[in-house]
Chains A and B, each alone.
Chain A
Amino acid sequence: MAHVSLEEWLARAEGNRRFRENVTALKHIPASPGSFAPFPGWVHPKLRAVMEKRGISRLYSHQARAVDLVRDGRDVVLVTPTASGKTLCYNLPVLQKILEEPETRALYLFPTKALAQDQMHEIHSLIGELKADIKTFTYDGDTPDDARQAIRKQGHVVVTNPDMLHAGILPHHTKWQKLFSNLRYVVVDELHVYRGVFGSHLTNVFRRLRRICRFYGQDPVFICCSATVANPKEHAENLLEKEVALIDESGAPRAEKTFILYNPPIVNRELGIRQSALTPARNIASELIGNRIQTIVFATSRLNVEVLTKYLKDTFREKIPSDDHFVSGYRGGYLPHLRRAIEKGLRERSIMGVVSTNALELGIDIGDLQACLIAGYPGSIASTWQQAGRAGRRAGHSLAILIARSNPMDQFIVENPDYFFTRSPEHCRVNPDNLLILLHHIKSAAFELPFEEGERFGREDLLELLAYLEEKGVLHRVDQRWHWAAESYPADEVSLRTVNPENVVVIDDTVAGSPKVIAEVDWDGAFTTVHEGAIYMVESQQYHVDRLDLERKKAYVKKVDVDYYTDAMTYTNVKVIDDFDKKMQGRTIVEHGEVQVARKVVGYKKIKFYTSENVGFGDVNLPEKDMHTTSYWFTLPWDLLDTLALRREEVIDGLLGLAYCIHHIAAMLVMADIRDIDRCIGDKSGEWFVRHGKGKRIITSQPGAPGPEVMTDAFDPTLFIFDAYPGGIGFSELLFERHDELMSAARRLIGACACDHGCPMCVGPVLEVGPAAKEASLRILDLMEGS
């Protein structure tokens, strides 16, 4: 059978009614010519010759602007699409300066080791062609000890990651004297990755970096690149804490692209269940790859990558039995040489299909693919465009299809194409002055150099924080200098990426005397997944948790074969401590401020496989977890709610549904993981709150206080969305500012959902939030607007 081209395949698909029915948007993005500028006169002839040899005889307009600004010593942030020649914007000025002044040093930061390796190869080949004595190295956890000394002294360009800078380079800055004494440029790629906790840490790492540079008499220029977000300039300025010039008009020519938003068909209207996103992904990918249209499929988890890869391999094993590598998987955890082989196979087109996690989202060179399937919204519009950008880089028509899963975020995106296509609503937020984060870095900074009177670090009162650390016995003050005075190495005490670096180890004790570690669960997850009595599953093997030892961070499990799984019942109770700001919005008071959050796992349900019957309960006795953080909230007085003429239980169901929906949309707006923020319905005093009881929702007073588990008039319901990190990470204020947008997005999502009484795609599973939730939540939204 003859193969069809991508255009022919698209024409057929568009003509196919069953395909079209699931398409919520189909957008042709036309090709556009580029806008160009000549090389600036200052570019070294050797460098220019190398560029020209590579077919670059002139620059894109944004490249020309960027390199000129950098040349003038300005810090820049570059926001342009994939394949618009971003790397040239930093490699050109950096190499130029090294050619002029051979002592010049530059530091490149990438969020992952794989990206760092890739960029190293890129600049390495440029240098090779330049035939100049310029040395470039990656420096990360894999760098052998015996190579490190040479890198510190000789590397002109050192390519590393923020974690290594934090724990491996800055605390040893004297060994890097040569680098810091000559550091002229710092390149920060994928800037949008540094948001939330990670970004808050990185801001402090930059404070430390610039402090060390000052010690050596340097003030390097920062060159940043970012995917498209709503606030790139603001975000860059928040991270660097200085003025940054924004370059966001791409001069790169664009090839034609078709972008499809695809919502799989509903298979159970009652429960609002749609077909899994993997099914259409598999079918479409098989067709495209079968027609020799090179395709990348992004899946949201490692497991999904493996499943899809297997399906596709099976498909093609029959057709092309000789070539098992026609389709390949790709994810973190594959060994480096295998990854390199796959990347090469893609560039050489011996591999026609690859299924990947977001490991291939960032700029690893895999050549120009034709089609990209995104099976599940990757969590941000920025990531979606980056993934889509892996198909069709410079010339020819390309295709991207986003396939939605059954959750509010995915559904909102595919059902609101304008939102997706017309603007970027996503804000990057950081809160570098979160006290806990700030304190960690003040300790690390003191380790690196004593603090001196009059120094600044962050926006809090440094003197008071230094005094606090002095009192804790880790700093020692003498002659108005604060010295590190402890045996430890403070940079090791904190991980930049995770909220809580502690893990609980799951130990299989089935065979007496030979315990085996089978998994690790993060600290917070441990309370709900490996409490005593829980059924814990690894690769579909069930384990019964016999004991959870929180002190030693171990859970002991035994293999079992039972017909149920467990679902933890938790409660969350929020109490307002301080409101920072409030406003009247419609008929609601909206506020944000500081709160105390108490969370506790009280028990679990045993749920039968397939039927989802509730077949029993168990109690759990774990300590309550308590945290101070920041929250955004709004309160709905009963006076107002009573005008709805709904029963109180129905109102509570509606609020729970609304909270579910807003929680998901909020995560989308602030580019947070769904677990980075959390929700609660209660009253502002923390005395009453809603929790899931055995089989029903109940309003309950806080434990210890007298009070029955009954409905009460005593409180006006308040909906809290709070930062799930002690001290807060800055999401709450942003949500407060964008309350209106959140409400209207919630309205659109719930209003447009095809389910009858609520489903996981809008207000949550009907079995959890009750049959009135969908209707009631819509009426509550109307009420708030005042209509």
Chain B
Amino acid sequence: MSLRDRLSRLTGEGTKTPAPGSRQETISELRQRVDALMTRREGISRGPVRSFGPAVPLEHLVTGEEVEMPQGRFFFSRSRLEGSHVHGLHRVCDLASLSMEAAGILAGSSELGGSNPTDALFLDTETTGLAGGTGTFPFLIGIGWFEHRDFITCQLFARDYSEEKAMLAFLGETAAEKRFLVTFNGRSFDVGLLAARFILNRIPDPLAAMPHLDLLHPSRRLVGHRLENSRLVTLEEFVLGLKREDDIPGQEIPQRYFDWLKRRDGRLLEGVFRHNRLDIVSMASLARHLADLLESPHGHPHAHESDLLSAARLLLDRGRTDQARLRLEALADSGDPDVALSALKSLSLIHKKAGQWDRAAGIWEAMVSRDPLDVFAVEELAKWCEHRSHAFGRAALLVERVLGECGTLASAEQQALAHRLERLLRKASLTGP
């Protein structure tokens, strides 16, 4: 008996649609279970497939050409965005004047400092899945860079798995001309995935060692607090002032490629190319936007004050205290009371750390006089009274009031305050009135 027959018997395939209740039905039940076992997660995301009419060649829909390398061939598409082009809130020519110092702060790496914006390689891949591991295939690699006032995007496309090696070799050569990498979530996804594919194809990996600005983390940090999520399309809409139309949902992309392999219909992929190109350009826009938040005290004219606050805190974490202080001082006068309060808090801590006690205490006093139940200010002020000005009685009064009147204290907070109060009262009684 042939292997195929044995397989179809084991899986119950090849049986006709059974009458209900018959033995055949139970065979197909087994088959369903075996199938479920074998292909549990396949076929969930079969997106809408455009299948009317004859296939349209890809070249008719996407400008590009075949490139020949010693390792084989692949499809290559290149386009140029003129400097005068407007992408959301930004003009393309403005994107290139990105501050490298700010980029270095965003990346948390000093290696970017000596580079120019034209040394950046923007990179984003479209893949056959998100599962990770060596079996996920990046079939479309989008890269971009600044050229004078313009922005260039190139898309490297493997029309089949057999074109991967040439595509990767080309990527390797291009990357060698650039000095650092800019991605969105590339640190945990694209770069690792490409590393695996370079190894599988036995080609040296130029990306792994390049300095890398992954925009996802600074985006979360600077603007994520006011967004539902930190996906690139969300950032585009609420930060970069760009609304995509007709964009293909990311989860449909793998199946589109699998369908392309079978049908070679360019219509399946046209949207994928567009999606990928937009991702690349938006990364350039996002990089400039985030850098601006760090760079100028007022940020971009469209910047939210809460974003600027986050930016000031990032500067503080990166050891740029003076810059942070200037930003915070400006924000302390904000019309948004939450922003102003947070800025004051951070400022007071900068002063405290610098040993400028009077300035710090001044802020706390102001905060307490505005809200006597501000736990942070009361606690800091109480510490200051206790250890610096030795005004134990004053400190005890402040703490006692919070303990008595503030109903929202966590029990640990309450305990700590009670403990402090007890000590203050003891010290107060020792030193007398």
Contact = CB atoms under 8 A, between A and B. Distances in A.
Given A174-B199, A436-B10, A486-B258, A449 B26 contact: no
Contact of A449 (B3, B10, B33, B200): B200
Contact of A626 (B30, B40, B200, B255): B30
B10 A464 contact: no
A625 B30 contact: yes
Given A478-B162, A479-B162, A486-B258, A172 B42 contact: no
B411 interface: no
Contacts of A91: none
Nearest to B36: A502
A500 B36 CA distance: 11
Contacts of A481: 161-162
A435 B7 contact: yes
Main secondary structure of the interface of B (DSSP, over half): helix
Contacts of B25: 623
B22 interface: yes
Nearest to A484: B135
Interface in A477-526: 478-479, 481, 483-490, 492-494, 500-502
A484 B37 CA distance: 17
A175 B160 contact: no
A173 interface: yes
Contacts of A494: 37
Interface in A399-445: 435-436, 439-440, 443
B258 A468 contact: no
Contact of B42 (A464, A487, A578, A627): A487
B161 A172 contact: no
B37 A493 contact: yes
A727 B10 contact: yes
Interface centre among B1, B132, B134 (most CB of A within 10 A): B134
Interface string B160-178: 1110000000000000000
Contacts of A492: 40-41
Contact of B6 (A172, A435, A476): A435
Given A171-B134, A478-B161, A598 B42 contact: no
Given A485-B261, A489-B131, A704-B22, A476 B34 contact: no
B63 interface: no
Contacts of B130: 487
Nearest to B9: A628
A626 B18 CA distance: 14
Interface string B112-143: 00000000000000001111111101000000
B23 A487 contact: no
A177 B199 contact: yes
Given A447-B134, A450-B161, A175 B196 contact: yes
Contact of A487 (B9, B22, B254): B254
A693 interface: no
Nearest to B160: A478
Contacts of A449: 134, 200
Nearest to A173: B134
B134 A172 contact: yes
B27 A468 contact: no
B248 to A, nearest CB: 15
Given A478-B162, A487-B131, A726-B34, A174 B195 contact: yes
A489 B1 contact: no
Interface in A598-647: 598, 623-628
Contacts of A488: 39-42, 129, 131
Interface residues of B, number: 47
Interface in B236-284: 254-255, 258, 261
A623 B29 contact: yes
Contact of A436 (B29, B34, B162): B34
B50 interface: no
B354 interface: no
A172 to B, nearest CB: 5
B26 A624 contact: yes
B375 to A, nearest CB: 34
Interface in A166-194: 171-175, 177
B213 to A, nearest CB: 20
A490 B39 CA distance: 8
A460 interface: yes
Contact of B41 (A476, A479, A487, A704): A487
Contacts of A483: 137, 161
B387 interface: no
B10 A435 contact: yes
B45 interface: yes
A625 B261 contact: no
Contact of A174 (B26, B161, B200): B200
Interface string A568-602: 00000000011000000000000000000010000
B168 to A, nearest CB: 13
A148 to B, nearest CB: 12
Instruction: Pick the 7 closest A-B CB pairs, nearest first.
Output: A447-B135, A487-B129, A174-B196, A489-B131, A484-B135, A171-B133, A488-B41
12 contacts: A174-B195, A174-B196, A443-B38, A448-B134, A449-B200, A473-B42, A479-B162, A487-B130, A487-B131, A578-B1, A598-B23, A726-B10
Interface of A: 171-175, 177, 435-436, 439-440, 443, 446-450, 460-461, 464-465, 468, 472-474, 476, 478-479, 481, 483-490, 492-494, 500-502, 577-578, 598, 623-628, 704, 726-727
Interface of B: 1-4, 6-7, 9-12, 22-23, 25-27, 29-30, 33-34, 37-42, 45, 128-135, 137, 160-162, 192, 195-196, 199-200, 254-255, 258, 261
